[in-house]
Amino acid sequence: MSIAGALKERARGIGVRLGVRSYRPIDRSSVERWDSEFKSGAYEYFGNLRQLARYSILVGYIRHLGPDVSILDVGSGAGVLAARLRETPYRRYVGIDPVPEAIAQAAHLADDRTSFEVVDQPSRALGYFDVVVCNEVLYGVPDPEGMLDDIHGLLPAGGNLLTSIWRHPTDVGLRRMLDARFELVDAVSARNLTDETGDHGWRVSWYRRS
C-alpha cells in the first residue's frame, strides 16, 4: 500500500472508531482472482512459521472445548487449519470456501470425519455446529454483518465462534459487529517479532452465542 493509501486508511480508521464511518472490507478480490492466486501458490505462506502463532491459538481453543465438537471452518482455504488439527480429537469438521482451487488443494485431507465443500456463504443447509471458525475471512467478504448473522443461526445457544483478524486501522468495525451478536470469552493479540515489515499481527478471539 502506498503512503497516501495508508494515510487514507488510517483516517478512515479514526472515523470508524468514532462511529461516523462504516466498516468497509479491505480485501475486495473476486473469487476468480483468489482461484488464480491459489493456483499460483500465492497463499502457501499460510503454512509458514510466521503464521504459526495464530493457528496455534485457534487449535488451542478447539482443544480446550473438548474432544467431541463439530467444527465449521468458514473460508478454509487449502486446509492449513485442518492439517494442524489432524492430531486433535473432534467429531466432525467441515471446511467451506467459495474458491474451487482452494477446496481442490484441501481434498487430500478428507477422511471419515473431515470434509470440504465449495460453498459461497454459510447457511443452515450445512447443519448446526458446536464451533464455527472465521480465520482471516471477515475483512474479505462483501457483507461481514450478513455473514455473522448467518453464522449466528448455525450455532445453538452456547455455541462458539473463533475468529482471527489481521490488525488493520478499521478492524474495530469488525469487533463491534462481533460484540453486537456474541459474548466475548477470550481474546489474544499475536504478533511475529521477527517480521521486519512492521506488520501488527492478529487478534484471535473466542466468542460464544448466548
Flag whether pLDDT at 12 surpasses 80.
Answer: no
Q: What is the pLDDT of residue 198?
A: 72
- Quickly state the pLDDT bin for 122 (edges 50, 70, 90): very high
CATH number at residue 182: 3.40.50.150
Report the range of poorest mean pLDDT among 55-69, 92-106, 108-122, 194-208: 194-208
Q: What is the pLDDT of residue 26?
A: 86
The domain in which residue 74 lies consists of 3-208
- Distance between CA atoms of 204 and 210, rounded to whole angstroms? 19
- Distance between CA atoms of 102 and 119, rounded to whole angstroms? 11
Flag whether pLDDT at 25 surpasses 90.
Answer: no
The total domain count for the chain is 1
Is the CB of residue 162 less than 8 Å from the CB of residue 196?
no
The whole-model pTM stands at 0.90
Q: Distance of CA 110 to CAs 58, 105, 114, 138, 203, Å?
A: 20, 11, 5, 25, 29
Mean pLDDT, residues 159-188: 96
